[in-house]
């Protein structure tokens, strides 16, 4: 019975993690876009991007003068 429970837990964990980006990669993607990972809010002159690897952090990308 324990083996069945262990198998069910393992199967659930594999299902939850499939298709996600590995830890740390989201921060690297943000840095490649010349952004910064900030907690909760972006500063004035920055637009909000995707989430970063750390919980509650967002990628804040500066708005250039050409995009205004």
Q: Biggest alpha carbon distance in the chain?
A: 64
pLDDT digits (tens, 9 = 90+) for 17-54: 445 677 788 888 888 888 889 988 898 999 988 888 88
In order, the DSSP letters of the chain are -HHHHHHHHHHHHHHHHTTPPPTTHHHHHHHHTT-EEEES-PPTTEEEEEE-SSTTEEEEEEPPGGG-
CATH class belonging to 22-68: alpha beta
Instruction: Name the nearest CA neighbour of 34 among 21, 43, 46.
Output: 46
Q: Which two tokens stand for residue 29?
A: 């993607």
Q: What is the pLDDT of residue 10?
A: 61
pTM value surpassing 0.75: no
Boundaries of every domain in the chain: 22-68
Q: What is the pLDDT of residue 6?
A: 67
Q: Which two tokens stand for residue 60?
A: 């804040």
């Amino acid at each position: 019975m324990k083996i069945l429970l262990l198998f069910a837990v393992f199967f659930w964990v594999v299902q939850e993690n499939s298709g996600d980006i590995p830890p740390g990669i989201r921060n690297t993607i943000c840095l490649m876009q010349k952004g910064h990972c900030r907690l909760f809010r972006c500063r004035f002159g920055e637009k909000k991007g995707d989430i970063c690897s750390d919980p509650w952090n967002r990628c804040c990308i500066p708005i250039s003068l050409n995009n205004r």
